[in-house]
Structure 1
Amino acid sequence: MVRGERGTLEYADGPRTLREFVETTWAYGDSPFLLDGERRFSYGEFFAAASALAVRLSERYGLRPGDRAVVAMRNLPEWQIAFWAAQLAGLIAVPLDARWSGAALCPVLEDCEPGVLLVDGERLERVGEWARRAGVRTVLFREEGRFPGGAGVQRYEDFPAPDPLAAPPDVEPRPEDDSVILYAAGTKGAVTTHLAQAGAALDARYRAAASALARGALPGTGPVPGHPGHAPVPPSRRVRRRLRGDGRRGHAHARGSGRSGGRGEHSVRPGPHPRNRVQGRHGPRRPAPRR
């Protein structure tokens, strides 16, 4: 990691925008990416679908970088297509909680002023009236119930099949450009940049590499987790020596007392990280002293 021009810590290598991040998926081709029951999406199929939708949003809908695209649907493979299509088009994605009612969704829509709604059938029933009043175009994924029709609503399943060789729109967002707006309760959204989101995506890889180094392994050389041939990586000789120690090195594990405000108890077990802090009810606790 290095300190960037603004004084914040940044990853020295890797993608600096979400568009750069998702473009790397094209190289994985026919490898499985999304599974939904019997349905399967490869990386290539996913990238082609996201690119085709991004082109439609830019060329047919006339959206430009910086415009907002709301993504509101349940946990579907199409959620990924919709979100990443927005990034490939240079739009600001606004993912909304699928559990929210229409009364909770509509004030957020008023606040973020989207240029398009990417929703499933259940969410369309909650925000369809708002979209008609505001004149906002809507793409419907997974039609459920009665299709409302109208010039402002188009079914995703009616779009032409994606061309696997077609490119996404020719836009290049900057790392400091806004990429996502996140809403919790209320209408105050948190805006994050491409650089922040790309860094969050890389964080899991950074921590996995740090964990491999801590156990004496070379990052990226172990079996793929979840693969049939996956087996735990044996600890290094240094770690094995510490695990066989006489208890002089250990780390604390907190056990709550079950009473509100209680300090809990600590037990000390041998382990390779004696200086780890343990999160308790009132913040981090210091590890138990060495014996």
Structure 2
Amino acid sequence: MTSTSTQMDLTSEPSPMSRDDAIAHILRTDPRFEIVDTTLWGNPFTVFARAPDNLRTLLQEAVASYPQRELLVYGQERWTVEEFASAVNRTAHILVTELSVQPGDRVALAMRNYPEMPILLMAIVSVGAVVVPLNAWWTGEELAFAVSDSDVHTVFADGDRYRALSTHVDDGSVTLVAIRDASGPVHYSDLLSRCASEHWPDIPVAPDDDFAVMYSSGSSGRPKGVILTHRGAISSVHSWKMGKEVAALMDPQAAAEQAELPAFLIVTPLFHVTALHSVFLQGLALGAKLVLMYKWNAEEAATLIQREQVTRFVGVPTQSAELISAAEKLDISLDSLETIGAGGAKRPASQVLQLAGQFPKASIATGWGMTETNSLGILLSGPEYVEHPDAAGRLTPPLQEMKIVDANGDQVPTGEVGELTVRSPANMRGYLNLPEETRATLKNGWLYTGDLARVDESGLVYILDRKKSIIIRGGENISCLEVEGALHQHPAIAEACVFPVPDDRLGETVGAAVYLHEGSDTDQTDISDFLKQRLATFKVPDRIWFWHAPLPRGGTDKLDRKTLQRLCQNLDEE
């Protein structure tokens, strides 16, 4: 009996652990994720003791671990990890010898999702310089502002960005280096062809050196440059890496069924943290194949997922919805997908159930993070997300702390609404050239996110709205996201955005812009009757504007609430 019992124990499947037990087990047994307490910028933080010191080391570890594994795919162009590192090192040599880039210098990238973007980024940070990814959707004036604000003297730009910048930085103070379809006296491909050096840069890069200045979307006023450090980016990547180990202990069977080689599709712009951090840098750390799209096209994405056996898709919620339609149209199962994530905006609850139904083998996931947190934040996936589709998720272990506070900075009781604040070494160092805004956002190591949230007794966090996206109607606070969520449940509505409308009597009333599904037909009375079954009457929009095209979006592909508010009000004045 004893012998039989022992044999059964040896062949049995590992028992699933609870989330807390899995985290504790890894911290106790896995030296890769050892944590220690330290002081940064005069504040206490918990940090990883054995994580890579900087992003160059992250790449070096990838080369050492899987040099011949395919890393980057763009159309017919393909790079192994070793080939990618070779291009990075040759580019690093160019930066120093041809362009006189020194440690601490800021170098801007103004381009769409070309392979040169990650190659240049890794080369810039490998020589101790600071990368400034510019929003490729900006006008020439907006690009020039960021170049001036960040004191950049070298910009790598593709065709459209090169032409837009050349009329604004023509005084010789900035060197424009042409990429791909750009034409100019200095072209990246010419510089690369003259360089044979593939040695790793012998330039010290400390963990708390700056690695990037990434500009916020600038929904109000000028965009803000967010200063991020190597430690901040590595803290995020290493936390996500540990998260995979936690998930495997919580669901050993699902982990055993995952593909041996992960493959990620990059569909959002690399000049934002969703693609740069949570897809590219995380993929580099995990040994994933990274399939790069120049710009979003749902049918092309579905074809790439099938051809390259992509296992992880992360995009804004509208891209998930369009992917469903494309898969149905092309009759593609997309059964290689193991994760379908969303970032940048909250996914409508109805879409969570739809995705779970159409892709039963995939874990449907959502995430909350900010440029200011190196994208690290709150995650939710799998059955728990399907059960709580309105939730943002749980804090990512093990470095982050969280408090929800009132207007005085005091923590509110569980279940009550307040401002979400987070503390971790992944937080930004500050805003570039904006000391007052930095002090208002960073207080004793805590980052005040500007998001209104509540947390339930189980630890699930619910993001309710931005503080500045609250409509105050006759003294009643109304969440724009709550009304938008109800609008998205209407079968005719494809997109909806809610905003305040000035009112002489009530101060503000609720306004909404909607874009209907093709072939749909409805009016304000029908929508109002529909909403009154789901919302208190005072939350139902007093005015709805119907758009005949997709609603305007900002640089991060979020709906541009301020612009829509202004455009709709202008329509009434015409």
Q: Tell me the residue number matched to 1:275.
A: 458
3-state SS of 1:4 partner: strand
The one of 13, 18, 32 equivalent to 2:50 is: 13
- Assess if the C-alpha contact under 8 Å between 2:179 and 2:189 holds in 1: yes
Q: Let me know the Cα RMSD of the aligned residues.
A: 3.1
> In the TM superposition, what whole-angstrom CA distance separates every residue of 1:44-91 from its partner, at most 9, and x where no partner exists?
121111111111111222221000010110011110111111011110
> In the TM superposition, what whole-angstrom CA distance separates every residue of 1:207-257 from its partner, at most 9, and x where no partner exists?
11111122247989963345969798xxxxxxxxxxxxxxxxx8952569x
- Assess if the C-alpha contact under 8 Å between 2:109 and 2:133 holds in 1: yes
The one of 156, 159, 164 equivalent to 2:188 is: 156
Change (3 A) 1:122 1:5: same
3-state SS of 1:159 partner: helix
Q: What letter matches 1:215 in structure 2?
A: D
Q: 2-side partners of 1:35 and 1:83: how far apart?
A: 17
Q: How does 1:113-128 map to 2 (within 5 A)?
A: 113-128=151-166
Q: 2-side partners of 1:170 and 1:128: how far apart?
A: 33
Change (3 A) 1:31 1:22: same
Aligned-pair CA distance for 1:188: 2.8
The one of 182, 201, 208 equivalent to 2:237 is: 201
Q: TM-score by structure 2 length? A: 0.39
Change (3 A) 1:56 1:50: same
Q: Tell me the residue number matched to 1:236.
A: none
Aligned-pair CA distance for 1:41: 1.5
> In the TM superposition, what whole-angstrom CA distance separates every residue of 1:70-115 from its partner, at most 9, and x where no partner exists?
0110011110111111011110111111111111111111111113
Q: What letter matches 1:37 in structure 2?
A: G
- Assess if the C-alpha contact under 8 Å between 2:107 and 2:131 holds in 1: yes
Change (3 A) 1:177 1:42: same
- Assess if the C-alpha contact under 8 Å between 2:133 and 2:214 holds in 1: yes
3-state SS of 2:108 partner: strand
1:57 aligns with 2:95: yes
Aligned-pair CA distance for 1:165: 6.9
3-state SS of 2:388 partner: strand
The one of 171, 176, 180 equivalent to 1:138 is: 176
- Assess if the C-alpha contact under 8 Å between 1:58 and 1:169 holds in 2: no
Change (3 A) 1:220 1:2: farther
Q: Tell me the residue number matched to 1:192.
A: 228
Change (3 A) 1:2 1:161: same
1:92 aligns with 2:130: yes
Aligned-pair CA distance for 1:183: 0.9
Aligned-pair CA distance for 1:129: 2.9
Change (3 A) 1:166 1:254: closer
- Assess if the C-alpha contact under 8 Å between 2:89 and 2:197 holds in 1: no
3-state SS of 1:74 partner: coil
In proportion to residue count, which structure has more helix?
2
- Structure 1 residue ranges without an equivalent (≥5): 233-249, 257-273, 284-291
Q: Tell me the residue number matched to 1:247.
A: none
Change (3 A) 1:278 1:183: closer
- Assess if the C-alpha contact under 8 Å between 2:91 and 2:192 holds in 1: no
Q: 1-side partners of 2:236 and 2:390: how far apart?
A: 31
Tell me the number of residue pairs that the alignment of Structure 1 and Structure 2 aligns: 243
Q: What letter matches 1:208 in structure 2?
A: K
3-state SS of 1:75 partner: coil
Q: How does 1:206-217 map to 2 (within 5 A)?
A: 206-216=242-252
Change (3 A) 1:89 1:162: farther
Q: What letter matches 2:76 in structure 1?
A: E
Q: Tell me the residue number matched to 2:399.
A: none
Aligned-pair CA distance for 1:281: 3.4
Aligned-pair CA distance for 1:34: 1.1
Aligned-pair CA distance for 1:134: 4.1
The one of 77, 97, 106 equivalent to 1:68 is: 106
Indicate the percent of aligned positions where both proteins have the same amino acid: 24
Q: Tell me the residue number matched to 1:181.
A: 213
- Assess if the C-alpha contact under 8 Å between 2:93 and 2:197 holds in 1: no
Q: 1-side partners of 2:233 and 2:337: how far apart?
A: 32
Please identify runs of 4+ aligned residues in structure 1 that moved more than 6 A: 162-165, 217-221, 227-232
Q: 1-side partners of 2:225 and 2:256: how far apart?
A: 37
1:29 aligns with 2:67: yes
1:224 aligns with 2:224: no
- Assess if the C-alpha contact under 8 Å between 1:48 and 1:164 holds in 2: no
